[in-house]
Amino acid sequence: MDQEPQQPITVSQCIDRIAQKLNAAKLHYGHGALDAHSEALWIVSKQIQLSPTEALDHLEDDISLDHQQAASNVADTRISTRKPLVYILGEAWLMGVPFFCNEQSIVPRSWIAELIVNGSLEPWLPADVKALDLCTGNGSLAILLALSCTDIHVSACDISMPALALAARNIDRHGLGSHVELLDGDLWDALPEPNEDNLFDLIICNPPYVNTNSMSALPAEYQAEPVLALAGGNDGMDLIRRIIASAPDYLSDRGAILIEIGNEYENFKKTFPQLPVIWMEVSAGEEQVLLIQAEDLR
């Protein structure tokens, strides 16, 4: 561990020092931050009780010795444990929105969040929309939907009760108890039998989709997450087959389902070669998230 800092420095200098330490450790990123400098910003901003974005407006402020040391200690823990920074800080940020997060849930980082926030889903969000978030985890996507659409009702389900407990905390944090309801169960088993009064206009899902070979090669940071939230079977399509098979029963006539598949584009195309799909453009490209309209599932 580094010696305790001995003199005041600026927030910017502290971020640079933490980034150098993280860089030297050859960590893996992708859990809310893309590189060492982004994680360093996150670490330091947490100590001075600002969001990472807010901290950028205070780079030339002095940072106390206590806050320097606290940031250094967090970096040391990050390096020694190889856990995602989210789990160490107990908080994740997605599209600028904070969420409680711990090891009971996958770290929120879905490309679907971009589509919610940038308005790409508006054609499938009619007035008084009813939406479903399958595999909700800590509830981040359901919450982003509710924050972006004031007249929406979101049902959010997950097979993991600890993840749902975390989602409940996040729903309370954002004051969305009247807009988001939580259901427990294995995919569609969490829902009542579909009828004309309980169909959804939009279903979103970031399911476990990592194929078996990729699972075995994941770095330590990803292995720290619940296997249940990542593993998608031999070709990554185990849950996606079940999701698509039953989706038409739960969609309104003009509804659609949005599914993230990450790097499994080739396996998806092999599994569903004839399925009409709309590929949604996100910052990672046009092969990570797909949308299927109800009429193309029936």
Q: What does the domain layout of the chain look like in residue ranges? A: 9-89, 103-296
Query: For 16-39, what is the mean pLDDT?
Result: 95
Q: Is residue 280 predicted with pLDDT exceeding 80? A: yes
pLDDT reported for residue 3: 54
User: How many Cα atoms are found within 13 Å in the side-chain-facing hemisphere of 79?
Assistant: 19
Nearest Cα residue to 206 out of 123, 144, 251, 272: 144
Q: Where are the alpha helices (DSSP H) in 95-237?
A: 112-117, 140-148, 161-173, 212-216, 220-223
Q: Which fold has domain 9-89?
A: Helicase, Ruva Protein; domain 3 (1.10.8)
H or E element in which residue 184 lies: strand 180-184
**pLDDT one-digit tens code per residue, 151-198:** 999 999 999 999 999 999 999 999 999 999 999 999 999 999 998 889
Share of the chain above pLDDT 90, in %: 94
pLDDT reported for residue 196: 85
Residues in the chain: 298
| Rounded Cα distance, 134 and 128, in Å | 19
Q: Are 9-89 and 103-296 in the same CATH fold?
A: no
pLDDT reported for residue 7: 73
Q: Are the CB atoms for 175 and 234 separated by under 8 Å?
A: no
pLDDT reported for residue 298: 83
| Rounded Cα distance, 199 and 278, in Å | 21
pLDDT reported for residue 5: 52
Confidence of residue 245 (pLDDT cuts 50, 70, 90): very high
Q: Are the CB atoms for 130 and 107 separated by under 8 Å?
A: no
Query: For 210-232, what is the mean pLDDT?
Result: 95
**pLDDT one-digit tens code per residue, 117-156:** 999 999 999 889 999 999 999 999 999 999 999 899 999 9
pLDDT reported for residue 32: 87
Is the Cα torsion angle 243, 261, 116, 42 positive or negative in sign?
positive
Q: Which residues contact 189 (CB under 8 A, 6 or more apart)?
A: none
What is the architecture of the domain spanning 103-296? 3-Layer(aba) Sandwich (3.40)
pLDDT reported for residue 4: 53
